[in-house]
A and B are shown apart, each in its own frame.
Chain A
Amino acid sequence: MKPPPFEYHAPSTMAEALDLLAKLEDAKVLAGGQSLIPLLNFRLASPAHLVDINGIAELEYVRERDGGVAIGAGARQSDVEDDKTVRRICPLLAEALGQVAHPVIRNRGTVCGSLAHADPAAELPAVLLAAGGEVVARSVRGERRITAQDFFKGVFDSALEADELLVEAWFPATTGPFALVEESRRHGDFALAGAARSGDRLALFGVAPTPVLADPTDPSHGLSPSGDLEATPAFRLHLVEVLVRRAFAS
C-alpha cells in the first residue's frame, strides 16, 4: 500500500465535517485529492486522519453572489470551467481553469482544494489574488472571510486554521481585459512563471513563495525568484517581463 496509515472519515454533512476537524488531532481534508493523494503516495504527507468531503452534497455548487461567483468546496474544476455563470461573470477563472493540469485531472480536482493547497506555482491562487477575491473559512467556532491577500502565507501555507474548512471561494466579476499566461516545460505542468491579469490588476505566480501582486509597468520589481533544475532566477525574471507584456498586449 502506498499511502501511509491514516484513519478515514467520510462525513455526509458540513456540520459533521466541522465537528471532525474540531475534534481530531492532525487531520487533513481530502477534496479532489489530485495533490494530496500524490503526497500520500510519496509519503511526503502522513496525516493521522483524512476527512473526505466528497460525500457532502451541500458543498457542490457554483452560484452568483454579490456580483461575483461563489464556488463551493465540492465543485470540480472541470464543472466550474464549463459553467455558464462562471463564463459570463468571471471569464478569467474559466480561462485559467483551462490551463490547470489536464482535463482528466480537472474532472476530479476542486477549485477550493487548489486554493487551500496554496502551491505558489498554481494558477488559481494567482487568479483569486488578481481578481481581488476571498475565501470563506468555517469551523465550529464560526465563519470568517479571508481576502486573497491575507490568505496565502507561504509555500503550501495558508491562513486556514487546523479546525477550519475552506467552504467557498468567491471571485469578483471580471471587468476589463483579462489574461492568464504562463510558461512551463511541458503542457499542463506547473508553471515556471505565470501572470494573471484582471483589468489593471496583475498577479504573478511561480516566482515567490506565494502569488504576488505586481505593477504592470515594472512587474519584476522587488522579485527574487528561486532557481531550480528547470529555470534559473534570471530566466524566471525574464519570463515575467515577457509574460506580462503578453498579458497586457491582449
Chain B
Amino acid sequence: MIRVNGRERPDPTNVRILLSDYLRHELGLTGTHVGCEHGVCGCCTVLLDGRPVRSCLMLAVQAGRHEVTTIEGLAGEGKLHPIQQAFHECHALQCGFCTPGFVLAVAGLLAKHRKPSDLEIDEGISGNLCRCTGYASIRRAVRRATELSK
C-alpha cells in the first residue's frame, strides 16, 4: 500500500514503474506532469513526507513507507491552497504545464522558510523550468503566498 493524498492506494503493478507514472497511469492523478523524465524540469515534483522531490527520479515502490502529496491533495476539494491562490492572483502561470511542480516546490520552500529572502526564493524555485518565462510573476506569487499563508 502507498499513502497518496491521505488515502491508502494499491501497490504499483511493477517495481520498475516510476512514481510519476504510477501516479498518472495507475491512480489517474494527472496533475503530476511529466516533462523531461530525468530530473531537470521539475514538472513532476510531489511532496514526500512534506518535502518536495522529483517523482520521475523515484520508483513508485520506494514510496511505500511514505506519505505522498500531489497537487490534487494540496488543498481540499474545490478550494485553493494559499500558494495556488497566490499564483492565480499574480498571474504566475501561462500555459500551466510547469505550475503543479512550481506550486509544490514553493510549498517545500515555505515549509522551510516562512519568510524567504529573494535569494532563498530564487534558490527554492531554481530547479523548476517555466518555458513561458513567467519567472518574475512566479517570484511575486511566492511573496504573495507568504502573506496569504499567515
Contacts and interface: CB of A to CB of B under 8 A. Distances in A.
- With most chain B CB atoms within 10 A of its CB, the pick from A52, A103, A187 is A103
A55 interface: yes
Interface in B42-91: 42, 45, 48, 51-54, 56-59, 61-62, 65
Contacts of B51: 78, 107
Interface stretch (B10-18, B92-100, B142-150): B10-18
Interface residue SS majority, chain B: mixed
B59 A37 contact: yes
Nearest to A101: B127
B127 A108 contact: no
Contacts, number: 86
B38 interface: yes
Interface stretch (A3-11, A21-29, A152-160, A210-218): A3-11
Contacts of B38: 38, 41-42
Query: Chain B contact residues (Cβ within 8 angstroms of A): what range?
Result: 20 to 34
Given A104-B52, A104-B108, A34 B57 contact: yes
Contacts of A225: none
B21 A105 contact: no
Given A104-B53, A107-B108, A1 B39 contact: no
Contact of A105 (B16, B18, B109, B127): B127
B54 A2 contact: no
A188 B55 CA distance: 19
A231 B48 CA distance: 37
Nearest to A42: B38
A54 B62 contact: yes
Contacts of B58: 33, 37, 108
A102 interface: yes
Given A38-B39, A41-B38, A54-B62, A108 B16 contact: no
- With most chain B CB atoms within 10 A of its CB, the pick from A5, A41, A101 is A41
Interface string A81-114: 0000000000000000000011111011000000
A82 B15 CA distance: 32
Nearest to B124: A103
Nearest to B49: A107
A5 B45 CA distance: 25
Contacts of A41: 18, 37-38, 56
Given A1-B14, A3-B16, A102 B126 contact: yes
A5 B57 contact: no
Interface of A: 1-6, 8, 10, 30, 33-34, 37-38, 41-42, 52, 54-55, 78, 101-105, 107-108, 187-188
25 contacts: A1-B17, A1-B18, A2-B18, A2-B37, A3-B18, A4-B16, A10-B61, A33-B57, A33-B59, A34-B39, A38-B39, A38-B57, A41-B18, A41-B38, A41-B56, A42-B38, A102-B123, A103-B52, A104-B42, A104-B127, A105-B127, A107-B48, A107-B52, A108-B53, A188-B127
6 A-B pairs closest in CB distance: A102-B127, A38-B38, A8-B15, A37-B57, A1-B16, A104-B127
Given A41-B18, A54-B62, 14 more contacts: A1-B21, A2-B21, A2-B37, A4-B16, A37-B56, A37-B58, A41-B56, A42-B38, A101-B127, A102-B126, A104-B105, A104-B108, A105-B39, A107-B53
